[in-house]
């Protein structure tokens, strides 16, 4: 079937950029992105493309090119469903915060609502595509809902997980390592639906990178890919602590590992801990699924990745407190960066939230500077933890819009996101205006330590030895 009309339900970090790229590459296909959130749709339609709700390098140019030509953003969900021959479901699937599976399972409430809405509107056959990351066997649930409407409409359900990373979404979409399409490969109709979707991607993705599997493999591959990536970060973070104790340098270790072609060099950057909407949620989901099949050893194995990550965030904050003479009470501490990684305004599960919360529990006075994150987002991230009242959060944590102001009179600075601009600050000026000793805790190993030491800072970075490693005089081995 030649697709003429696409609808995408959910105009978030995945739906927005993905549809913008499809619209750019397929000018003959009408792409409508719908969302129930009116503010979000208004922002996608804003004349000023700087105000798009998702910040991604290169995205605004693509939106400018395609918007109103064949890319539309709307709140009229029903009409877009009605007209579409292909519907992407790209709504949020957060970890459940209530009931059975609380804190572990994915909440499929929004997915189910979408399915019911599609079922109530559709008058002709449609291809439904799972784009959100979902637990294995969600497609079966979708099918149950859609096939039981009794109105004779036939649906094909495909799983087409998105592997884009935030901050590089446009590049990842334009040049993906692979496109994965899971479908009903045992039936003619299933194969045709896969073909229709594949033809869209083939406009710009080499055919050999488009992989077809059964639905379950596709669903499970997405969870597994994220679990493996997160596992690498937790593994190198585990080594970072051992490096600090032994005098090894985690950078040197990572480099040596990365040159083994069986291991590879990516995702070996030790840090204050991984964040983002996917890693934790997908692993919890995997753990939940494994447990529900009674696979306790499998569940425990993956859960350890999360336990290590929580530990790394806590360890970073504790290290700050210890270094600041065991108390941060009443001390001004500056956090540079709040986003979960550079080049995005997304803060979901950002390590910064947990570091800030920990320091606030110790009565620190925090000032945050992030080049892209809105003030209200920072407060709402903290309020969400319910550690203290909203007023207390606003009293003890302030948001600055100038990094030099943010660092003035601080006892310590912590770099929590690897924004490029942090490297190029006038660190001498920052030093001059800080209290001494001027501590810098580099949670991203971003700054040039030697330069900072020359200026007079006392810098600490993750996974670097505490003493002069070159002297070979490591800590005494306990006997």
Positions marked catalytic: 162, 222, 278
- Ranges within 114-173 binding ligand UDX (CB under 6 A): 162-166
| Partners of 111 in beta bridges | none
Q: Which helix (H) or strand (E) is 181 found in, with range? A: strand 179-183
The answer to whether residue 13 forms part of the interface with ligand ADP (CB under 6 A) is yes
- Residue 114 and residue 224: Cα distance in Å, rounded? 25
Closest separation in Å from C-beta 271 to ligand UDX: 3
Closest separation in Å from C-beta 53 to ligand ADP: 8
φ/ψ of residue 322, rounded to 5: -60, -45
- Ranges within 66-125 binding ligand ADP (CB under 6 A): 77, 90-92, 110, 113-114
Closest separation in Å from C-beta 358 to ligand UDX: 17
Dihedral sign, CA of 57, 59, 64, 66? positive
Q: Interface with ligand UDX by CB under 6 A: which range of 1-9, 41-49, 85-93, 264-272?
A: 264-272
- Residue 146 and residue 407: Cα distance in Å, rounded? 56
CB-based contacts of 222: which residues, under 8 Å, 6+ apart? 133, 159, 161, 163, 180, 282
User: Hey, what's the torsion of the CAs at 340, 345, 347, 353, to 10 degrees?
Assistant: 80
In the numeric block, the tokens 């299933």 are attached to: 190
User: Hey, what's the torsion of the CAs at 359, 364, 367, 369, to 10 degrees?
Assistant: -20
Q: Which residue is nearest to ligand UDX (CB)?
A: 276
List the one residue from 204, 216, 267, 379 that touches ligand UDX (CB under 6 A).
267
Report the residue number, 110 or 204, with the smaller CB distance to ligand ADP.
Answer: 110
- Residue 137 and residue 298: Cα distance in Å, rounded? 18
Q: Which helix (H) or strand (E) is 201 found in, with range? A: helix 188-202
The answer to whether residue 427 forms part of the interface with ligand UDX (CB under 6 A) is no
Q: Interface with ligand ADP by CB under 6 A: which range of 32-40, 218-226, 370-378, 383-391?
A: 32-40
The one of ligand UDX, ligand ADP, none whose footprint includes residue 37, by CB under 5 to 8 A per kind, is: ligand ADP
The answer to whether residue 276 forms part of the interface with ligand UDX (CB under 6 A) is yes
The answer to whether residue 295 forms part of the interface with ligand ADP (CB under 6 A) is no
Number of residues that bind ligand UDX (CB under 6 A): 19
The answer to whether residue 172 forms part of the interface with ligand ADP (CB under 6 A) is no
> Smallest Cα–Cα separation from 397: which of 416, 411, 383?
383
Closest separation in Å from C-beta 264 to ligand UDX: 11
Closest separation in Å from C-beta 271 to ligand ADP: 21
The answer to whether residue 229 forms part of the interface with ligand UDX (CB under 6 A) is yes
- Ranges within 363-382 binding ligand UDX (CB under 6 A): none
Q: Hey, what are 85's tokens?
A: 């021959």
Closest separation in Å from C-beta 16 to ligand ADP: 7
- Residue 104 and residue 96: Cα distance in Å, rounded? 7
φ/ψ of residue 180, rounded to 5: -110, 125
Q: Are 184 and 94 in contact (CB under 8 A)?
A: no
Residues in contact with ligand UDX by the rule CB under 6 A: 162-166, 226, 229, 233, 267-269, 271, 274-276, 278-279, 340-341
Residues in contact with ligand ADP by the rule CB under 6 A: 9-15, 34-37, 40, 77, 90-92, 110, 113-114, 132, 277
């Amino acid at each position: 079937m030649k697709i003429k009309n696409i609808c995408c339900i959910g105009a978030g970090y995945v739906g927005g950029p993905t549809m913008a790229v499809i619209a750019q590459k397929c000018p003959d296909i009408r792409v409508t992105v719908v969302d129930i959130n009116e503010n979000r749709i208004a922002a996608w339609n804003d004349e000023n493309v700087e105000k798009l709700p998702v910040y991604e390098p290169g995205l605004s140019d693509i939106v400018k090119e395609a918007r109103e030509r064949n890319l539309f953003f709307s709140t009229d969900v029903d009409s877009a469903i009605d007209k579409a021959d292909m519907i992407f479901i790209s709504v949020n699937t957060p970890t459940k915060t209530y009931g059975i599976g609380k804190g572990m399972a994915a909440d499929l409430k929004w997915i189910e609502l979408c399915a019911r809405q599609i079922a109530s509107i559709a008058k002709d056959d449609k291809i439904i595509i799972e784009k959100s990351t979902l637990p294995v066997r969600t497609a079966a649930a979708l099918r149950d809902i859609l096939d039981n409407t009794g109105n004779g409409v036939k649906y094909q359900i495909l799983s087409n997980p998105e592997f884009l990373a935030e901050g590089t979404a446009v590049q990842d979409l334009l040049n993906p390592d692979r496109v994965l399409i899971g479908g009903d490969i045992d039936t003619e109709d299933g194969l045709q639906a896969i073909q229709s979707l594949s033809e869209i991607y083939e406009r710009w993705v080499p055919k050999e990178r488009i992989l077809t599997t059964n639905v379950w493999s596709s669903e499970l591959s997405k969870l597994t890919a994220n679990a493996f990536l997160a596992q690498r970060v937790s593994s190198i973070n585990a080594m970072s602590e051992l490096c600090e104790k032994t005098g090894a340098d985690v950078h040197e270790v990572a480099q040596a590992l990365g040159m083994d072609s069986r291991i590879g060099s990516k995702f070996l950057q030790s840090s204050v801990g991984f964040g983002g909407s996917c890693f934790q949620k997908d692993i919890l989901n995997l753990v939940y699924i494994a447990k529900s099949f009674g696979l306790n050893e499998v569940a425990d194995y993956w859960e350890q990745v999360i336990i290590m990550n929580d530990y790394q965030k806590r360890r970073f904050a504790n290290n700050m407190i210890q270094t600041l003479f065991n108390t941060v009470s009443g001390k001004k501490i500056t956090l540079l960066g709040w986003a979960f990684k550079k080049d995005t305004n997304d803060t979901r599960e950002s390590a910064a939230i947990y570091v800030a919360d920990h320091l606030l529990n110790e009565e620190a006075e925090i000032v945050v500077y992030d080049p892209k994150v809105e003030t209200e987002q920072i407060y709402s991230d903290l309020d969400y933890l319910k550690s203290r009242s909203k007023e207390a959060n606003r009293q003890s944590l302030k948001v600055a819009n100038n990094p030099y102001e943010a660092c003035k009179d601080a006892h310590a600075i912590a770099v929590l996101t690897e924004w490029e601009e942090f490297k190029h600050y006038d660190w001498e000026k920052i030093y001059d205006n800080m209290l001494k000793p001027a501590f810098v805790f580099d949670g991203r190993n971003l700054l040039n330590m030697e330069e900072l030491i020359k200026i007079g800072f006392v810098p600490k970075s993750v996974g670097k030895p505490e003493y002069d490693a070159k002297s070979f005089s490591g800590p005494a081995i306990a006997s």
